[in-house]
Amino acid sequence: MTGILVAAGLSLLVSFVLMPPLIKILYRFKFGQEIRDDGPQGHKTKQGTPTMGGIVIILGAVIGYFGAHVATMTPPTVSGLLVMFLFVGMGCVGFLDDFIKIYKRRSLGLRSGAKMLGQVIVGVGFAIGVTMFPNNYTYTPGSTHLSLLRDFGPPMAVWLFVIWALILIVATSNAVNLTDGLDGLATGAMILSLVAYVVIGNWQLRQSCVNALEPNCYTVRDPLDLAVVAAAALGGCIGFLWYNAPPAKIFMGDTGSLALGGLLVGLAITTRTQLLLLVIGGLFVLITASVIIQVGSFRLTGKRVFRMAPLQHHFELRGWAETTIVIRFWIIQGLFVALGIALFYLEWMPR
């Protein structure tokens, strides 16, 4: 528990302190957001707002994570390092995308093929890594099984698991990216999801098969350290939200959204809650589904279901205030997270 508190607190402090100078530097060098011409007209006022704030979220989380291990005098675990690798690696892909947008003064950065290649390289490294490094109990950071509340079904071949993990990684990172369209929306939703993984990691530690071979015990390799990772990212997101709340002084950019999406799916794979992520990240799923429905409907029928996709922009065009959309979407995400935690605890409830 000490490590969780130190990671969250140190990350929050770093993020909160570093954000103002980063905003000044980005303003000085005119590293501002380019707004899409086909987006809501109200967003034109956000043109030039500094972006790449995800840099500080990543720095805060990394310092918080390793600082927690220094404070508790414990070494980082393989599981924690692999999730941090996915987090930072996806952030690097996002940084390149953001930098190209700023340098070329356009709303599109990396070409889709190059962006996908970067995600695949980082994702493959993570996916292969989680199938290796067994501990003394033969537990690896991840497993080749599907998982909901724990592993189930027959194991997959390693190559098939790598493909499955890549699908999860690319889908989740892009889902968070799609959600990052209004001030504070993606950050607040991510904070709620990370709270769930702090709770899950802590519970899995208490019910670990290492401590007692009970019927419902967990074979997760490093549950406590995964909770520390989630707490470190949580603190960074809270510090960032202070400056990202409407009206935003800075955006996280693809640097932050791709990194946080990678972190979320990394936690899901290593805590054996792959399919539960559909509930814990329910808002991200809804927003991504709105894009899929919109594109599919237009291609099949030539008609649009929503005034604009992703879903948050549909409500903007219906006249909802930005803060109203953000708060109501936070409420929806909070309900999804509560449901996810309830499902996770369901098997422990008295029958």
Question: pLDDT by residue (tens digit) across 285-324?
Answer: 999 999 999 999 988 888 899 899 899 999 998 989 999 9
Reduced 3-state DSSP string for the chain: CHHHHHHHHHHHHHHHHHHHHHHHHHHHCCCECCCCCCCCHHHHHHCCCECCCHHHHHHHHHHHHHHHHHHHCCCCCHHHHHHHHHHHHHHHHHHHHHHHHHHHCCCCCCCHHHHHHHHHHHHHHHHHHCCCCCCCCCCCCCCCCEECCCEECCCCCHHHHHHHHHHHHHHHHHHHHHHCCCCCHHHHHHHHHHHHHHHHHHHHHHCECCCCCCCCCECCCCHHHHHHHHHHHHHHHHHHHHHHCCCCCCCCHHHHHHHHHHHHHHHHHHCCCCCCHHHHCHHHHHHHHHHHHHHHHHHHHCCCCCCCCCHHHHHHHCCCCHHHHHHHHHHHHHHHHHHHHHHHHHCCCCC
In-domain check, residue 330: no
Residue 112 CB neighbours (<10 A): 8
State the pTM of this model: 0.93
Range name among 232-241, 254-263, 287-296, 342-351 with the lowest pLDDT average = 342-351
Residue 255: which pLDDT band, with cuts at 50, 70 and 90?
very high
What tens digit of pLDDT does each residue of 75-107 get?
Answer: 999 999 999 999 999 999 999 988 887 777 655
In-domain check, residue 156: yes
Does the pLDDT of residue 27 top 60, yes or no?
Answer: yes
Residue 216: which pLDDT band, with cuts at 50, 70 and 90?
confident
In-domain check, residue 26: yes
Range name among 32-46, 47-61, 271-285 with the lowest pLDDT average = 32-46
Range of the domain at 199: 1-33+43-282
Residue 35: its pLDDT value, please? 56
Cβ-based neighbours of 241, under 8 Å, separated by 6 or more: 184, 187, 188, 191
Residue 204: its pLDDT value, please? 95
**Average of pLDDT values for 103-117?**
75
Reduced 3-state DSSP string for 82-96: HHHHHHHHHHHHHHH
Does the pLDDT of residue 6 top 60, yes or no?
Answer: yes
Residue 109: its pLDDT value, please? 65
In-domain check, residue 321: no
Average pLDDT of the chain? 91
Q: Residues in the chain, how many?
A: 351
In-domain check, residue 297: no
In-domain check, residue 18: yes
Does the pLDDT of residue 40 top 70, yes or no?
Answer: no
In-domain check, residue 73: yes
In-domain check, residue 310: no
**Please, what's the largest Cα pairwise distance for the chain?**
62
Residue 170: its pLDDT value, please? 95
Q: Dig out the tokens for 190 from the structure.
A: 């991510």
Task: Name the domain count of the chain.
Answer: 1
Cβ-based neighbours of 339, under 8 Å, separated by 6 or more: 279, 282
Residue 45: its pLDDT value, please? 56
Residue 26: its pLDDT value, please? 83
Residue 47: which pLDDT band, with cuts at 50, 70 and 90?
low
254 is in an annotated binding site: yes
Distance CA 349, CA 212 (A): 19
**Amino acid letter for position 199:** V
What tens digit of pLDDT does each residue of 272-296 get?
Answer: 999 999 999 999 999 999 999 999 9
Does the pLDDT of residue 38 top 60, yes or no?
Answer: no
What tens digit of pLDDT does each residue of 151-202 get?
Answer: 999 999 999 999 999 999 999 999 999 999 898 999 999 999 999 999 999 9
98 is in an annotated binding site: no
Residue 59: its pLDDT value, please? 96
